[in-house]
Chain A
Amino acid sequence: MNEAAPLPEAAVVAEKLTKRYGDLTAVEDLSFSVAPGEIVGFLGPNGAGKSTTMRILAGTMSGTSGRASIWGVSVALDPAGAKRHLAYMPENNPLPEDLRVEEYLTLRARLKDVESARVGERVRKVMDDCDLTRRASGRLIGQLSKGFRQRVGIADALLAEPKVVILDEPTIGLDPHQIVGIRDLIRALRGKMAVLISSHILHEVEQVCDKVVIINRGRLVAQGRTEDLRRELLPEATFTVVTRADEATLLAACRATEPAASVDALPSADGWNTFRVGLPAASPARETLAGALIAAGISLRTIAEDRFGLEDIFLAATRRAPGEARRP
């Protein structure tokens, strides 16, 4: 009886990865993991070491120390074995200009050990999935727009149905329509492949990824689900309040409900005052603040809890000192 190969606990493991160029440390002591079928955003400011880390994981660069493995196979000890489970799209997505899309994908399928009998079928499938069949299959890659070139790169990544896909800035330079297309493509991979994706478009990452890993100056500063990071990095809940009341009156009313409340004035207009009210995230006053203010006789035009996005999490994480992040 054939038994399916057991799933590894983690599809991608980076353990104490370090990369030094002489005196310059690009990546230091970086540890994180990606579970099978999970989509993980890999974030950091420019020069944080994202591309370096991805290249080490993809086996195109060796680390100075630490361990990287893809689907349980060590990248350093068995690079060919690791590459059989992996597809990697580098940052600038280099493609040969003088090949036609279908020719290129056929070549790549053969190099990626796709069975000979299935090469044509797989090429057609990824071209359909990436919307290349109708408009690009017979064209020279050098004649394609940036968006189509990115699609060719992603089609190439999906060709051999790898267990792990690493995409370095797949949406860079794309217009909003193209970004939505690529986002839908990546979202469709959830549960099928582990995806590690770096991007500067945090809104996109938030919509697509199950988890984020944030690095700064080569070191891990945060990792986890967006909700968990929000609680960890932004422990205060804030409300935007538009009212006729002045700051002192509002603060007194808020403190009557939650002694740790804070009030900051924001730019106001039309005779209405705008304030930001801060409460501890775990405070029960989050649910009763509006009622408490009305009961205190404060006239309200607007009261709304601010929603922290990934951008706020990213800014908070990259502001804190490296090494403060929780270990995986």
Chain B
Amino acid sequence: MRHFRTLLAHELRSAALSWNTWAAAGLFLVLMGGIHFFALLEGSRAPSDRTPVESTLWFFWLPLLCVLPLLTMRTFAEERRAGTLAALLTTPASAAAVVWAKFLSTWIVWVVFWLLFTLFPFLVEQRLGTPGDQRLSDPAVLWGGLGFIVFSGLLHVAIGILCSCVTRSSALAALLAFISLLAMTAAGGALESLPIESWEWLGWLREPAAHLRTFGHLQDFAAGILDSRPLVLYGTGTLLCLGLAVLSVEGQE
């Protein structure tokens, strides 16, 4: 992991100056602003168990599928296309250092996006106050939900990085990331919706399906339940994807 800090500083600086990051940030804020606006409208029409912030967080999959691929698509695909990745690897910097630096910088940008989102409930509370006995946000739910998004974001970003490693086309990398993240987010729900209970020969799927409940994980985190199983799932998934990404970069000729 030689030169990791140098590479990380470079990647963060590049991300801050890249039009791509600013476009993704704009799209993210428009999406989340719109969702939060409609959640507030909905909340004002009828009382609900969920606060508008909780309802907004429930749509975390939308920026995950539409914005995160924009952040990860260029990390390796563009460098491979331009040949700058090969030039970078002629220095003593290792492929692992390059992969981890790009991964961590993208994850930091993703976290910053979500921290920006926390301004919405704050600004709404400032402008509207707390109307009647209705709560616009619950800090525990907000930070619990964000904790899930940030932690699962490690795996989501790693998937995007891996997709960018396997192609020279940024557009294809974005498409691959979109499909992979969609499959990952929907897999748990899809498996749960199957009548597994009535299919004995699919009984072995019950346990893995329970582990892959992305929305269940969000619910648990927001409720303050810290289960070690999703932590292991996202942690090991992240390491696996990054390991494959390192192998992919090392094997490029």
Contact = CB atoms under 8 A, between A and B. Distances in A.
Interface of A: 55, 58-62, 80, 83-84, 86-88, 90, 92, 94-98, 107-108, 110-113
B198 interface: no
Given A88-B90, A111-B7, 7 more contacts: A80-B2, A87-B90, A90-B83, A98-B17, A108-B91, A111-B6, A111-B92
A61 B92 contact: no
Nearest to B6: A110
B183 to A, nearest CB: 33
Given A111-B91, A112-B91, A60 B14 contact: no
Contacts of B83: 90, 92, 94
B60 to A, nearest CB: 31
B111 interface: no
B10 interface: yes
Interface in B1-50: 2-3, 6-7, 10, 14, 17-18
Given A83-B92, A98-B14, A60 B86 contact: yes
A96 B84 contact: yes
Interface in B56-114: 82-84, 86-94
Contacts of B90: 58-60, 83, 86-88, 90
16 contacts: A59-B89, A60-B89, A61-B253, A62-B253, A90-B90, A94-B86, A95-B84, A95-B87, A96-B84, A98-B18, A110-B3, A110-B6, A111-B6, A111-B88, A111-B93, A113-B92
A160 B233 CA distance: 43
A92 B81 CA distance: 12
B87 A111 contact: no
Contacts of B93: 111
A80 B49 CA distance: 58
A94 B84 contact: yes
B19 to A, nearest CB: 9
B248 to A, nearest CB: 15
Contact of B87 (A59, A80, A90, A98): A90
Central interface residue in A94, A95, A98, by most chain B CB within 10 Å: A94
A26 to B, nearest CB: 11
A163 to B, nearest CB: 14
Contacts of A86: 90
Contacts of B3: 110-111
Contacts of A88: 90
Contacts of A95: 84, 87
A98 B17 CA distance: 9
A280 B86 CA distance: 50
B10 to A, nearest CB: 6
The 5 A-B residue pairs whose C-beta atoms are closest, nearest first, are A94-B83, A111-B91, A61-B253, A110-B6, A88-B90
A60 B253 contact: yes
Interface in B194-211: none
B14 A94 contact: no
Contacts of A90: 83, 86-87, 90
A4 to B, nearest CB: 22
A111 B2 CA distance: 9
A80 B92 contact: yes
